[in-house]
């Protein structure tokens, strides 16, 4: 029997079509909310995946070759989902650690987006965490790391410097690193600045101030035997969820795709 109408489709096809619609609507809704752009794009991507699977399922009725392609697509998708889910669980476990009560010999504060001269929510939370940590440990230097990107009138490091000095942090303790454009460069460019301050990169303790979702990637990219002290900056839950979702993709990009394309 030729199944032309929606209600005559197989149950799995109807479910896939409904999921595609749900993800489309979710993408439209998230697109209107500030700070959760990745979740919106992910929803659109999932809707497209559902439509591709639905199309392959419908075509598989006509030829066995399409059915084989459908099975390959389903198996590949399952492997991808399981792999990303494993990374996501690990990222969340690392991000939940809070070691802000522990002392360190030096500090790195990692930059985040700036809107003109106004810090993004992510950067503002890092500034707040840096203020608390530096006031609790008044005798250690701090590198403020972050260059100037698109839509930013000044560097991320300068925004952090201005905010922290206004809050009473001694400017002599703050070292600006204004050349980096990503996490890898943040860490690479900050290390020699710390070493000039007498920091022992092979035996010292380094406090890293960034958001929890970011901590796992920092640990992967930092390849020295330095003991890292995690000082997480707390985000609102909806932004936290968005960035945690994004982070598993960012780790795959940094640790797999970049080395392969280099």
Q: Say what the pLDDT of residue 1 is.
A: 44
Q: Measured on CA atoms in the order 171, 172, 178, 183, is the torsion positive or negative?
A: negative
Q: Say what the pLDDT of residue 217 is.
A: 94
- pLDDT reading at 61 higher than 90: no
Q: Buried b / exposed e across 18-43, counting CB within 10 Å, b at 16+?
A: ebbeebbebbeebeeeebbebbbebb
Which ranges constitute the DSSP H helices of 137-236?
156-166, 183-196, 215-221
Number of Cβ atoms within 10 Å of the Cβ of 13: 16
Across 111-115, 170-174, 211-215, 221-225, least confident range: 221-225
| Mean per-residue pLDDT over the chain, rounded | 93
For the entire predicted model, the pTM comes to 0.87
Q: Say what the pLDDT of residue 262 is.
A: 65
- Token pair belonging to 231: 């000082």
Q: Say what the pLDDT of residue 4 is.
A: 65
Q: Which residue has the tokens 């990219």?
A: 221
Q: Say what the pLDDT of residue 254 is.
A: 83
Query: What is the spatial distance between Cα 169 and Cα 151, in angstroms, rounded to a whole number?
Result: 27
Q: Who's near 232: CB < 8 A, 6+ residues apart? A: 95, 97, 98, 100, 129, 210, 211, 212, 215
Q: Say what the pLDDT of residue 3 is.
A: 58
Q: Who's near 175: CB < 8 A, 6+ residues apart? A: 141, 142, 143, 144, 193, 194, 197
User: Rounded mean pLDDT of 76-95?
Assistant: 95
- Percentage of the chain beyond pLDDT 90 is 82
pLDDT band at 2 (very low <50, low <70, confident <90, very high): low
Number of Cβ atoms within 10 Å of the Cβ of 139: 8
How far from chain centre, in Å, is Cα 219? 13
Q: Say what the pLDDT of residue 259 is.
A: 77
- pLDDT reading at 256 higher than 90: no
User: Rounded mean pLDDT of 125-151?
Assistant: 96
Query: What is the spatial distance between Cα 73 and Cα 79, in angstroms, rounded to a whole number?
Result: 10
- Percentage of the chain beyond pLDDT 70 is 98
User: Rounded mean pLDDT of 49-76?
Assistant: 92
Contact 90, 70 (CB under 8 A): no
């Amino acid at each position: 029997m030729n199944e032309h109408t929606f209600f005559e489709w197989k149950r799995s096809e109807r479910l896939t079509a409904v999921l595609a619609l749900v993800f489309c609507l979710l993408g439209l809704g998230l697109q209107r909310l500030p700070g959760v752009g990745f979740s919106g794009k992910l929803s659109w991507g999932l809707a497209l995946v559902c439509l591709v699977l639905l199309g392959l399922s419908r075509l598989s009725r006509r030829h066995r070759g399409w059915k084989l392609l459908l099975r390959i697509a389903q198996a590949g998708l399952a492997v991808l989902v399981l792999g990303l889910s494993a990374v996501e669980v690990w990222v969340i476990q690392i991000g939940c650690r809070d070691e802000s009560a522990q002392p360190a010999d030096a500090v790195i504060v990692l930059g985040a987006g700036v809107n003109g001269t106004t810090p993004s929510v992510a950067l503002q939370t890092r500034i707040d965490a840096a203020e608390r940590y530096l006031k609790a440990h008044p005798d250690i230097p701090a590198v403020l790391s972050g260059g100037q990107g698109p839509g930013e009138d000044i560097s991320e490091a300068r925004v952090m410097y201005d905010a922290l000095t206004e809050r009473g942090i001694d400017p002599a303790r703050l070292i600006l690193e204004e050349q980096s454009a990503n996490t890898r460069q943040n860490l690479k460019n900050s290390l020699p600045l710390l070493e000039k301050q007498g920091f022992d990169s092979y035996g010292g303790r380094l406090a890293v101030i960034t958001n929890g979702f970011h901590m796992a990637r920092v640990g992967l990219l930092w390849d020295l035997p330095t003991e890292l002290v995690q000082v997480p900056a707390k985000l609102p839950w909806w932004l936290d969820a968005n960035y945690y979702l994004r982070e598993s993709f960012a780790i795959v990009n940094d640790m797999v795709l970049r080395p392969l394309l280099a």
